[in-house]
Amino acid sequence: MINQISFQYEAWPDDSTLSVADRALLQEARQVTALAYAPYSNFWVGAAARLVSGNIVLGTNQENASYPVGSCAERVLLGHAAVRFPEDPIETLAISYHPKDKSSAVPLYPCGMCRQVLLEHEMRFQRPIRLILSGMSGPVHVVDSAESLLPFAFTGKGLRN
């Protein structure tokens, strides 16, 4: 038996087709890349989330000379949101990046660890997180739920069996 997993996403040539609110959120993610701490990779990542209440939370990657100790922008943002607004779920999360001396005109998706943490956040609040993914310019991808990015996810259900 052959099974197939697929998901749908929106792909736009640039941010001009986004709603005013989504374009503003993506712009926040692009701007906050300047605050990232990435002296080793020179790959600055910024994330901006709009919570259900309308509050905006920001995050950037934070590197460390001992690479496993660093944190991705998405996880920094999720931790900040959990402490600052513990009962306010994320509605939409925009992620952008800026590598030193290179183009950032291709949407990049969260790493596997961040996908797992995003999925856990969705399960915690029982609601999807829309993802807007883009570089500093160029194409924009919109995914309706982080769950789409992690098929066969490891969840708490496996821990309770």
Look at residue 160 and tell me if it is in a domain. Answer: no
Catalytic residue among 74, 87, 120, 147: 74
Q: Is 87 a catalytic residue?
A: no
Note the pLDDT of residue 154. 86
Look at residue 15 and tell me if it is in a domain. Answer: yes
Look at residue 32 and tell me if it is in a domain. Answer: yes
Q: What is the CATH number of the domain that holds 61?
A: 3.40.140.10
Domain with 132, as residue range(s), is 10-148
Look at residue 128 and tell me if it is in a domain. Answer: yes
What would the pLDDT profile of 86-135 be if each residue is shown by its tens digit? 999 999 999 999 999 999 999 999 999 999 999 999 999 999 999 999 99
Number of domains forming the structure of the chain? 1
Q: How confident is the model at residue 58 (pLDDT cuts 50, 70, 90)?
A: very high
Look at residue 161 and tell me if it is in a domain. Answer: no
Give the span between the Cα atoms of 156 and 89, in whole angstroms: 19
What would the pLDDT profile of 64-78 be if each residue is shown by its tens digit? 999 889 999 999 999
**What string of DSSP letters covers the chain?**
--------EEEESSGGGS-HHHHHHHHHHHHHGGG-B-TTT-EEEEEEEEETTS-EEEEE-B--SSGGG-B-HHHHHHHHHHHH-TT--EEEEEEEEEETTS---S--PPPHHHHHHHHHHHHHHTS--EEEEE-SSS-EEEES-GGGG-TT---HHHHH-
